[in-house]
Structure 1
Amino acid sequence: MDLDAFNAVHSAEWSRLEELTKKRSLDGAEADELVRLYQSVATHLSTIRSAAPDPVLITRLSDLLGRARTRIAGAHEPAWRDVVRFATVSVPAALYRIRWWTVTIMVLFVGVAVVSGWWVATNPDALASMGTPAAREQYVDEAFASYYDPGAGFASMVWTNNARIAALCIALGISGVFPAYIMFANAVGVGSTGGMMAYYGELDTFLTLIAPHGLLELTAIFVAGAAGLRLFWALIDPGPRTRGRAVAEEGRALFTIAIGLVVVLAVSGLIEGFVTGSGMAWWLKIVIGAVALAAFWVYTIVLGRRAVQAGETGDLTADHAGDVAPVAA
């Protein structure tokens, strides 16, 4: 193909398409012309790519078609609206849908932690498994409290570690095993530490240092475990949906939760980094933690119920998620 001749024949069409894309408003005839020229130039681009791939001309026409496509289809809504909608609709809807899973995991976690703590506090062999007498006393008297070192560095470390645990629960949730194992292991760990502190008469120290940040932090971990297990359950019992569709929809909603938990864990990290180990009165620290937890549940229940009643699930909108084949209920 003679590229110069092709250019000479069609350049007027390209120039006209460019002119139409730049106009502030189009009447009906111009809109029809824009669509027609868009189709023609798309054909020209395909011909050039296959017969005489000139990179300069391909780039020019690709850019022109991109601008024309935007003019025809309309530009996407401003990014800040997406962020606001995500924060006020998608995330609370996804959290609300798994609220009972979260509460169930919380109850089981607390039950395992209490049993583990009682076992360590009352059973000499279980207490001995926590370390030598000297190591246990050093931990109770010094290490436990000194761990909570106020500052941005500590807050960042805590946030990163907790975000990693939550991400693993979500990413490996479809296995069904990993979230359950993480929940059980953490419950035993927290309970055993509390039991050892109780044995040495420091249960009040344990509770006042855990409660400020732990109320929100552990809730975030419960949510991550619930999200992972919800994905596993979608694989086991997809309901009226096909198994692939159920996993895809729950998986997308799951990542909505994951992004929301980044913020939740950042807040709990700030509390742990700047409140837990600070010189504030113990009651004020606990109040701050309780307020943070209450804000999370108000956000989840109030905004989440409203979003779910409007048909939201935390999944992508239909135009982003793509079409699915209808199935019989």
Structure 2
Amino acid sequence: MSTQTIARQFREQRENDWQRLEAILRVAERKSVRALSDEDLLALPVLYRGALSSLSLARETSLDLELVTYLEGLCARAYFFVYGVRTTAGAKFLAFFRADWPDAIRSLWRETIVSALLMILGAVAAYLLVANDPTWFDAFVPGELGSGRDFQASAEELRRTLYDAPEGGTGLSFFATFLFTHNAQVSLMCFALGFAFGVPTAMLLVHNGTMLGAFFALFQDRGLAFELGGWLSIHGTTELFAIVLAGAAGFRIGWAVVFPGEETRLTAATRAGRTAAIAMIGVVIMLMCAGLLEGYGRQLITGDWTRYAIGWTLLLLWLAYFYIPRRRADG
């Protein structure tokens, strides 16, 4: 019996099932799976498995290439509707907040610890240096960020920047806007420069910490450290945590380049980049939340203890959201 005869008989015995499967797929592709009848829904996986069996036999018996190619395409289309994930934009949105984002952050826990320690190290070092020699202050705080908040200012002038309403876009309003813009830029740069073995990321984290430490040394010198802590807490716990997470995302990429393991550096960096990118989408959301707190909450709420309560409660909520284990919806 010739190969052509075998191929013809093979097709005749199974072609009706292939045609039915193709008809079902056309309806699903043009409309949706919901448009299929109950009978077609039940037949779909059976016909798919039959097509897979036909494809396997066609390959083993070396039937004509055209038939094998047709069956491969048919099986690939059917696979999508039998096993593929078909979710709406809303479902993907919910999945991001329910699982994808917290999972990504939890996977960065080592990098997050390193990132936080570097910022704390910078803050402590700058605080000690400025507290012992105020001339160090200008080395850590840019003039535009200080904007009169330096050792030439009196305690009353510094106090007004923490509580008084802004006038003409100066004072608290200018400082708050500049500080938020600076921290947002630091977050993005920590992530973007991570590919350079994580070195620029580490430097940025330390530098950001030094500015924080220098300001605390200044306000501590004027007896206002507690008040400054409340002023920063209401938005800073979210904003600084976002910077730490951005640094962790940058480190994940940098360390993948330095220690790729058995993979190539490009493959390792690409894999790390997927997790880091999910984390950074969340960082942007955190910065938006911090911006709202900074633009409204910090100016409307002037009680020190209230500021502390809001800021540190938010931090606890972020930590609970990221690090308390949860069951996945498909688990």
TM-score band w.r.t. shorter chain: 0.5 to 0.7
**For residue 80 of structure 2, what is the amino acid of its counterpart?**
A
Measure how far apart 1:187 and its partner are. Answer: 0.9
Structure 2 length-normalised TM: 0.65
Match 2:265 to one of 225, 243, 246: 243
What SS does the corresponding residue of 1:84 show, helix, strand or coil? Answer: helix
1:165 aligns with 2:186: yes
Query: Which residue number corresponds to residue 310 of structure 2?
Result: 288
- Encode CA deviations 1:207-226: one digit per residue, 9 max, x unaligned: 12112211221111011111
User: How far off is 1:299 after superposition?
Assistant: 1.4
Distance 1:158 1:202 in 2: 19
Q: Does 1:21 align with 2:21?
A: no
Count residues with an aligned counterpart.
263
Partner SS state of residue 298, structure 1: helix
2: CA distance between counterparts of 1:127 and 1:20?
Answer: 69
Letter in structure 2 aligned against 1:119:
L
SS of alignment partner, residue 77 of structure 1: coil
Q: Distance in 2 between matches of 1:249 and 1:200?
A: 49
Specify whether residues 77 and 164 from structure 1 end up closer, same or farther in structure 2 by C-alpha distance, changes over 3 A only. farther
For the structure 1 residues 187 and 72, does the alpha-carbon distance in structure 2 shift closer, same or farther, using more than 3 Å as the test? closer
In the alignment, what sits opposite 1:217? 239
Query: Which amino acid counterpart does residue 127 of structure 2 have in structure 1?
Result: G
Query: Do the aligned partners of 2:235 and 2:291 also contact (CA within 8 Å) in 1?
Result: yes
Paired position in structure 1 for 2:91 = 81
Distance 1:296 1:114 in 2: 24
Residues 265 and 115 (structure 1 numbering): CA distance in 2 closer, same or farther, change over 3 Å?
same
Cα gap change, 1:241/1:123 in structure 2, threshold over 3 Å: closer, same or farther? same
Q: Does 1:275 align with 2:297?
A: yes
Give the whole-Å Cα distance in 2 for the aligned partners of 1:77 and 1:213.
38
What is the Cα deviation at residue 292 of structure 1? 1.0
2 CA distance for matches of 1:223 and 1:20? 44
Aligned pairs for 1:257-276 (under 5 A) are 257-276=279-298
Which deviations, in whole Å up to 9, do the C-alpha atoms of 1:300-324 show, x marking residues without a partner? Answer: 11147x67xx8xxxxxxxxxxxxxx
The one of 92, 101, 104 equivalent to 2:111 is: 101
Distance 1:19 1:108 in 2: 58
Match of 2:130 in 1: 120
Inter-partner Cα distance in structure 1 for 2:147 and 2:243: 32
Cα shift at 1:174: 1.0
Q: Which runs of 5+ in 2 are unaligned?
A: 1-21, 28-35, 52-65, 67-74
In structure 2, what is the equivalent of residue 38 of structure 1?
none
Deviation (angstroms), 1:293:
0.7
Give the one of 185, 192, 195 matched to 1:174: 195
Matches of 2:221 and 2:288, distance apart in 1: 33
The unaligned stretches of length 5 or more in structure 1 are 1-16, 36-42, 44-67, 311-329
**Separation (CA, whole Å) in 2 of partners of 1:118 and 1:296:** 30
Which residue matches 2:224?
A: 202
Separation in structure 1 between the aligned mates of residue 295 and residue 134 of structure 2, nearest angstrom: 34
Contact persistence 2:229–2:308 (CA under 8 A) = no
Q: Which stretch shifts more, 81-90 or 225-234?
A: 81-90
C-alpha deviations, 1:157-210, integer Å up to 9, x for none? 876654443222112211122211211111111111211222222222211211
SS of 1:172 mapped into structure 2: helix
Deviations 1:239-272 (A, max 9, x none): 3444332211111110000111122222222222
Matched, 1:90 2:100: yes
Structure 2 residue 307 is matched with structure 1 residue 297: no
Residue type matched to 1:188 in 2?
T
**AA matched with 1:73:** F
TM-score (structure 1 length as normaliser): 0.65
- CA pair 21-72 structure 1, distance change in 2 beyond 3 A: farther
User: Per-residue deviation at 1:238?
Assistant: 2.1
- Summarize the Cα distance change of 1:268–1:127 in structure 2 as closer, same or farther, 3 Å threshold: closer
